[in-house]
Amino acid sequence: MSVTATAIPIQKRSGHPRPQRRRIRSSLAERIAPYAYVAPFFVIFAIFGLFPLLFTFYVALFDWNPIGEQTFVGFANFERLFADPRFWNAFVNTFGIFLISTIPQLLLALVLAHLLNHARLKWANFFRMSLLVPYITSVAATALVFGQIFDKNFGLLNWILEIFGLPSVNLLASQVGSWVVISAMVMWRWFGYNALLYLAGLQAIPREMYEAASVDGASSWQQFIHLTIPSLRPIIIFTVIMSTIGGLQIFTEPLLVAPETGLTCGAGRQCQTLSLFLYEQGFGQFEFGYGSAIGVALFVIVVVAALINFFLSTRTRGGN
């Protein structure tokens, strides 16, 4: 196979493609086989990925009652969406939680990876493995435990505050407070995963480069800025984009953080994210059309944010 594969361009370049093409056509099975091998993924993706995506765009144009009438309304759902204070509230919440959770998380992961990469670290494998423990813990379990830590009546946090004679706080009642609680959950769950990605990147940097930098008199900070960061750039771009996509779709944590808050994440919707708003409208109120419009808006927001990320991340290369 590899011989044939490399042979084709050579043949093309030399201007004699005909005999080769005829030979391939003669074997139909050989031509179809590669497509057959990749087909299962694409068939399943088409059914469970592409079709729902396109169907969402379609449903968003309707006033769609799943057990009643479906009326075409054009862009009325989107007009309503942009005038809906609940949508903008969810938008602000989503970005608030995203910023509070992602930026410190990635910085922390970078520092941690740097420490774990230290040549003289004992038990290095143990520490590296334990980073994955939060990641393999169920989100639901994480959310319940964090919810209890920050509970206003019997939470661990308020218990500690009480010991020091401080007044108890009800973090979940305020907007910024509930963002902090949810961000803490996201950070706890993901920083180890990102640290491991960075660690893998760090280990691929040859030690000789650091030795050469030391010989040239670079301080360890200068080594970090001018050697480590540029070498890790592809991985940093990857983690930033993945965190953006995940962070903007955050759902389970705000849903489960407190039992009484429900689909609005609090009476004032103080921590309701866009995905949770989508779920509330689509599957709480059964407004499928409006829920789909939120889904389309969320899709556009994620794509735009990922593109901005990508351009910002690649731009830094030019400044080097």
Partner 1 sequence: MNRRMLAIPIAAIGALALALTGCSSGGSSAEGDPNAEFEFWSFTGIGQQESVDRYLEKNPDAKVKLSEVGSTTETATALTAALAGGKVPDLVMIQNDDLPKFVENPGNFIDLRTLGGDDIGDDYLDWAIDAATGEDGSIIGIPTDVGGLSFAYRADLFEAAGLPTDPEEVAEMWSTWDGFIEMGKKYTAATGQPFVDNVETTVFFATVNQVSEKYYSDDGELIFDSNPQVEEAFQVAVDTYEAGISAGIAAWSSGWAPGKANGAFAVTTAPSWILSGLKNDAPDTEGKWRIASIPGVGGNWGGSVIAIPARADNPEAAWQYIDTMLSPEGQTEHFADTGTMPAAKGALESEDVLSYTDPFFGDSAIGKVMSDSVLQFNSFYNGPDTSAIGGALLNALVDMEVGNVLPADAWKTGVDSAKAAIGG
Binding site for partner 1 (CB under 8 A): 65-69, 80, 84-86, 151-154, 170, 173-174, 258-260, 264, 267-268, 270, 283, 285-286, 290
Minimum CB separation of residue 185 from partner 1 in Å reads 18
Work out the widest C-alpha separation in the chain, in whole angstroms: 89
- 243 or 281: whose CB is closer to partner 1? 281
Minimum CB separation of residue 288 from partner 1 in Å reads 9
Minimum CB separation of residue 67 from partner 1 in Å reads 4
- 153 or 320: whose CB is closer to partner 1? 153
Q: Is there a contact between 89 and 273 (Cβ–Cβ < 8 Å)?
A: no
Minimum CB separation of residue 149 from partner 1 in Å reads 12
Minimum CB separation of residue 179 from partner 1 in Å reads 14
Closest listed residue to residue 64, CA positions, set 295, 293, 299, 279? 293
* Separation of alpha carbons 241 and 230, rounded Å: 17
Q: Radius of gyration over alpha carbons of the chain, in Å? A: 26
- 17 or 66: whose CB is closer to partner 1? 66
250-265 burial code (b ≥16 CB/10 A, e <16): beebbbbbbeebebbb
Structure token pair of residue 88: 């903008």
Minimum CB separation of residue 24 from partner 1 in Å reads 16
The long-range contacts involving 56-62, CB below 8 angstroms and separated by at least 24 positions, are 56/292, 56/295, 56/296, 56/299, 57/292, 57/296, 59/288, 59/289, 59/292, 60/289, 60/292, 60/293, 60/295, 60/296, 61/289, 62/288, 62/289
- 116 or 297: whose CB is closer to partner 1? 297
Structure token pair of residue 304: 């735009």
Minimum CB separation of residue 68 from partner 1 in Å reads 4
- 33 or 312: whose CB is closer to partner 1? 33
- 116 or 172: whose CB is closer to partner 1? 172
- 86 or 128: whose CB is closer to partner 1? 86
- 247 or 282: whose CB is closer to partner 1? 282
